[in-house]
Each structure stands twice: as C-alpha cells, then as structure tokens.
Amino acid sequence: MSGEYGLKLIGVDGKEKIVSPDDATILAAGSLTMSNSLEGDNTYGEDVALGGTYDEDEISVLAVPRRPVYAVNYTRFIDTTLYYATFYLDSTKTYYTRNTATGVMTSFSAGAKTPGSKNTWNSVLSIFPVAFWDKKGASTFSSVRIYSATAYLIRDPAVDTNFSLAGSASGSGGIGGGNGDTPNNIKDNVLATWYGSGCIVSIGNSCAWSYWAEVSFSSKTVNKAAIYHEPFSTLNGGNYANGAYYVKLYYGSAYHTVLSGSWSGEFHIGSFWTWVNGHWKGVTKIRIEANGSAQAAVNINTWSQHVTQELQAWGSPNSDSTENKVVYSIGNQGIATVDYMVSKKRYTI
C-alpha cells in the first residue's frame, strides 16, 4: 500500500503540503484544565512553556476544545405584538466580551428578561466552542497562551427612543391661536399642545379643511409609529361631518402610509393614542396628513376637525451591527478541558 499520510495544510495561495512527523518537532502537547477566572491583567487562558524563544512563524499551534457547557435559558417572551427568540443569556451566569487585539476580557451582564423591557432580553443567535492561540499582539514567544471558551452570538438591544423629540418639525394648513399655532407642538412631549385644522359652518353652508405636519431626522430604522390625536366631528342637524388621517414614513425616496383612519357623524371621544409596529429602514421623516369636510342643514355649528398632539417615530438608538455582540463563558461554565499540540515547523508552504 502506498501514498502520503499526515496533516494536509493549504496556503492562502492554494498550495498544499502534507505534513508528516519528519516535518515538525513537537515542543509541547497534552491536555489543559481551563481556569474558571481571568488572569490578573484581565486576559484569559492557560500558558504552555516552550523551553525556548521562537518567532511567530516558526511554530504551529493546534488546540481542540472538549465538550462545551452552554449557559443559556429557554424562555418565550411574548408581548402584544412580538414573538421573541426562545434562547437567552442567563442573568445568573458570568459572561465576557473580548478585545481581539489585546485579549483583555470585560464582564458582560445579561438582562433578567423583564416582561415588556426588550433591553433585558439578550437573545442568543448561535452558540459554538472556540479554542485558539491567543498571541495578544506579540511576535516572539517563550510560551503559548491557549484560549478556549463557549462563544455566543447575541443581540444586545437598547431601549427604544423617540426620534421625533430631536427632529425638526414643519407643517402647513394648521389653525393658529391658543396652544396649536406651531408644528413644533407635535414633538415637544407635551400632550396639552397641538397642531391641526378644522372648520365649522351654519345653516346651508359647507366647508372643507386639510393640513399636514412632519418631523425630519437623520436616517433611522423605525419599529413603531405613534400618534396622540383627537379626531372630532358633530352633525348637530347637518348633512355630514367627517374626516380622515394618514401617518406616513419617508424612506426609499417616497412616503409610505403605515397608519390611517377615518370618522364621521357624531364623533367626539377625546384624544387617544394610535400606533403601528413594523420594521422600516432608512426613515428620515414621519408625517401626519388629515382632511375633512362638513355641511350644515337646519342648525348651526356643524363641525369637523383633527388635531395632533404628538407624532412619534420609535426605534433603537443603536444600529443593528452595534446590537450584535459575541460574548464568552469560561471554565466550568464554558470549556473545561482543551487538548493541544505546539510544534516547531520545518516546512514552508
């Protein structure tokens, strides 16, 4: 029986090399019990002495983690509109983030999964064991640091923020006077102030009205559009009194209606919140448009109007990539044992 045997190495240029026992000298090999805590400099791992000093390109390190431990919870969080992922970090366990350049580990506190508070739910997207030679920025070595842990790709969501509060408001067609004389009233976080329009007519007359207002901000991913508003109409013997409203988001070089409604006849229930959840990327404006009309018959004061007290666009203050993180659990909460081999190379690829 003939043929080559050994470890096949493939270079970035596609060249191949079969490594046999004649090609390398084993400097150290065995199994390591991984520590349950960080080193004094907040790095992590076990050091293997080499009995000499070697340049980075002189040695080869093979590290293989044994059975990993997964420190996660299996829970389903449901609110009125969203079904969240079912695996989450466990707030009773210890996790770390890692600086890839220095090897320094920083404690990461998992959320306690408080219902209704999404920033406390660190959902787990994937779990996998890792083991490697942690060079910590060095280029010559008298010992090799073996790093091993259980890794978790997670979501670290922030509390949603109302982008409208910091935005710039504009509008047209609103009625002045009182506390409804400026579009800024729809983004001041004060429910008593408003911007809107309407009309009132007497016997035999008709009227129509319309207005718009919007809040502009830098490009955001919006997951909730909300309006606190008061549609109003009263017939009082009139032929008709009605109105309609439309909440729109501007993205992709166009306005898109995400929320709408209409009313007619006797409609005066006071102000209320209306909202819609979704996922809209690249949003730069949220806009309210409303219109209506009225016609009197035998009495006076047939009336139609709409006012907006607050117009809100909600989303995470962080980008999606910022909320994606890799965290690690170590030792008896991660990888307890690693097999390794460090060899001095006598080959090139």
Q: Which residues pair with 171 in a beta bridge?
A: 213
How many percent of the chain have pLDDT more than 70?
Answer: 91
pLDDT tens column, 4-13: 556 677 776 7
CA distance 83 to 123: 12
Residue 216 has a CB neighbour count (10 Å cut-off) of 15
| Token pair for 214 | 């919007």
Asked whether residue 20 carries a pLDDT value surpassing 80, the answer given is no
Give the range among 134-138, 144-148, 317-321 with minimum mean pLDDT: 317-321
CA distance 204 to 258: 37
CA distance 103 to 39: 11
Q: Which residues pair with 275 in a beta bridge?
A: 226
Q: Which domains does the chain have, with CATH numbers?
A: 7-159+322-345 (no CATH), 161-315 (2.60.120.260)
CA distance 47 to 38: 13
Asked whether residue 321 carries a pLDDT value surpassing 90, the answer given is no
∠ CA 159-164-170, rounded to 5°: 175
Note whether 34 and 129 are within 8 A (CB).
no
Asked whether residue 210 carries a pLDDT value surpassing 70, the answer given is yes
Residue 78 is predicted with a pLDDT of 56
Asked whether residue 291 carries a pLDDT value surpassing 90, the answer given is yes
CA distance 257 to 247: 6
Asked whether residue 238 carries a pLDDT value surpassing 50, the answer given is yes
End-to-end CA distance of the chain: 27
Q: Once rounded to an integer, what is the mean pLDDT over residues 141-166?
A: 95
Asked whether residue 214 carries a pLDDT value surpassing 90, the answer given is yes
Residue 21 is predicted with a pLDDT of 61
DSSP element (H, E) containing 171: strand 168-172
pTM over 0.85: no
**Bigger pLDDT: 129 or 2?**
129
330: left (phi over 0), alpha (psi -120 to 50) or beta: beta
Q: Once rounded to an integer, what is the mean pLDDT over residues 63-75?
A: 85
**Bigger pLDDT: 347 or 286?**
286
Note whether 186 and 168 are within 8 A (CB).
no
The band of 204, judged by pLDDT with boundaries at 50, 70 and 90, is confident
Using CA of residue 13, residue 17, residue 22, residue 25, what is the dihedral sign? positive
Note whether 344 and 54 are within 8 A (CB).
yes
Q: Once rounded to an integer, what is the mean pLDDT over residues 37-50?
A: 96
Note whether 152 and 303 are within 8 A (CB).
no
Average pLDDT, the chain: 90
**Bigger pLDDT: 57 or 292?**
292
The band of 315, judged by pLDDT with boundaries at 50, 70 and 90, is very high
